[in-house]
Structure 1
Amino acid sequence: MTDQWQQLTVSPAGGGAPGRRRSRGALALGVLGEVLITAGLVLALFVGYSLWWTDLLADRQSDRAGDRLRQTWTAPAAPAVPYLASEGIGFLHVPAMGKDYQVLIKPGTTPEVLNQGVAGAYQEPYQAAMPWDASGNFALAAHRDGHGAKFHDLDAVGKGDPIVVETRDHWYVYRVDATLEQTSKYDTGITAPVPQESGYREPGRYITLTTCTPVYTSRYRMAVWGSLVRVDPMDAQRTPPAELRG
């Protein structure tokens, strides 16, 4: 009886070891879960903060640059050239992206340029034609997220929508003819003088807007194409065209 009792009394202790192992395992999993959740929250906060902060800095920088450009336009000794590359080309207005939407346009599409919260005119592989040129493609790029996110709502622009470029002396009014929802980021044909997939078949006076897609990625590119419909001279009051007064 004694041996049997000893065996019976040993069994509960022996059966308790797996329970302790399970408890330790559950504790470890719980700690790991908390660490992962905390890391995820920190990462999400960092990404959100980074996007917000770069937007804030870029907006401030582009606003100051835009003010400087307008000052050069109104200065008594305004330069005879259409624009000063160091200051900017003009301003892009796209009502479909907001009633008062405007963005400063500068030459170049490098990060150093686009991170200023501007739209950049392509310099390569094709040199963007200026709006006042007799023909060509005024091809522009801007960030969709972060650094001002000036083309964040480019997907809201559709066929028939107006696009207006404001320079010192003229308003250039374009009409959107076609859009491309997605293409390879290596597809340079979308910014060619006669943009591929745009439907245009001969030289003209075109505008192209490009940005990354989907949102928060840079995997693909999207494009919006328009053609010039008219040029309005700038009056002393800088009265915007009807497309911007609706």
Structure 2
Amino acid sequence: MSRTAPPRRSNVLAAFLSLLGEFLITAGLVLGLFVVYSLWWTNVLADRQASARGDEIRRQWQGATPAAGTPAEPGALDTQGGVGFLHVPAMKNGEVLVKRGTAPEVLNDGVAGYYTDPVKAALPWEKTGNFSLAAHRDGHGAKFHAIDKVKKGDAVVFETRDTWYVYKVFAELRQTSKYDVDVIAPVPKESGRTAPGRYITLTTCTPVYTSKYRYVVWGELVRTEKVDAKRTPPAELR
């Protein structure tokens, strides 16, 4: 009794489907690994680097002694290392080292950066201006991931070598164009303010895991406190 060989076309189709299945499984694994790398491992690496750099800055602060007869300059140790530390209790993200600039090579180190372009941020000790900052919302430390938890009346504290700057949040903008540079203007009129003051602005991407729009939070300086020998934090951070 003779057997009839299966059509060659069926064999080719079965082989193709098998290869396609293997390809899809492999692609899925690669994509999964990429997501893990982007959303978890980059956070691990950035947090390590930021923590080490933050420790170095604090050691520099401890050893900094201004020349006799000259006042302490809060930003003297800025430039390459870091100007200070941002504390936002509502975000529950600990202290965030703040450095100069908002380019990816700065923010990818797990820090926040203050704007130098297209609008130059005023630093906290200046008499008026807007201390405008940016940080990632996902990956690379994701320091502003929980920015949506910050509400009107919440505290935002910036720590330098010798001063605590205590701000109070007064407005937020949940979505605006990434080209909307007016939000970081010296007087951010979109926040409702029309006169010069001492403002702080936090910006990041939105929605989460995209960079299509920007999320903005504004605060205004309410007081400063000198840093004591024990670096006792202000009441808002206790």
Task: State the TM-score, normalizing by the size of structure 2.
Answer: 0.88
Unaligned stretches of 5+ in structure 1?
A: 1-12
| CA offset digits 1:140-161 (Å, max 9, x no partner) | 0011112111111111111111
Equivalent of 1:66 in 54, 62, 68: 54
- How far apart, CA to CA, are the structure 2 residues paired with 1:236 and 1:108? 30
Specify whether residues 183 and 239 from structure 1 end up closer, same or farther in structure 2 by C-alpha distance, changes over 3 A only.
same
Q: Structure 2 counterpart of 1:81, which letter?
A: E
Aligned-residue offset at 1:78:
4.7
Aligned to 1:92: 86
- Helix, strand or coil: the match of 1:197? helix
Q: After superposition, where does 1:28-177 map in structure 2 within 5 Å?
A: 28-75=16-63, 77-78=65-66, 80-83=72-75, 84=77, 85-98=79-92, 101-177=94-170
After TM superposition, where is structure 1 displaced by more than 6 Å over at least 4 residues in a row? none
Contact 1:62–1:116 (Cα < 8 Å) also in 2: yes
Contact 2:177–2:213 (Cα < 8 Å) also in 1: yes
Contact 1:72–1:78 (Cα < 8 Å) also in 2: no
Task: State the TM-score, normalizing by the size of structure 1.
Answer: 0.86
Contact 1:120–1:141 (Cα < 8 Å) also in 2: yes
Unaligned stretches of 5+ in structure 2?
A: none
- Helix, strand or coil: the match of 2:191? coil
- How far apart, CA to CA, are the structure 1 residues paired with 2:64 and 2:214? 42
Q: Structure 2 counterpart of 1:150, which letter?
A: K
Aligned to 1:224: 217
Aligned to 1:180: 173
Specify whether residues 176 and 76 from structure 1 end up closer, same or farther in structure 2 by C-alpha distance, changes over 3 A only.
closer
| CA offset digits 1:8-57 (Å, max 9, x no partner) | xxxxx8xx86xx75675465345424422330222121221243232222
- Helix, strand or coil: the match of 1:175? strand
Aligned to 1:4: none
- How far apart, CA to CA, are the structure 1 residues paired with 2:58 and 2:180? 35
- How far apart, CA to CA, are the structure 1 residues paired with 2:108 and 2:37? 16
Range 30-39 or range 168-177, more displaced: 30-39
Aligned-residue offset at 1:234:
1.2
Specify whether residues 76 and 156 from structure 1 end up closer, same or farther in structure 2 by C-alpha distance, changes over 3 A only.
closer
- How far apart, CA to CA, are the structure 2 residues paired with 1:182 and 1:214? 8
Equivalent of 1:189 in 182, 189, 203: 182
- Helix, strand or coil: the match of 1:45? helix
Higher helix share: 1
Identity %: 64
- How far apart, CA to CA, are the structure 1 residues paired with 2:38 and 2:188? 34
Q: Which structure has the greater CA radius of gyration? A: 1
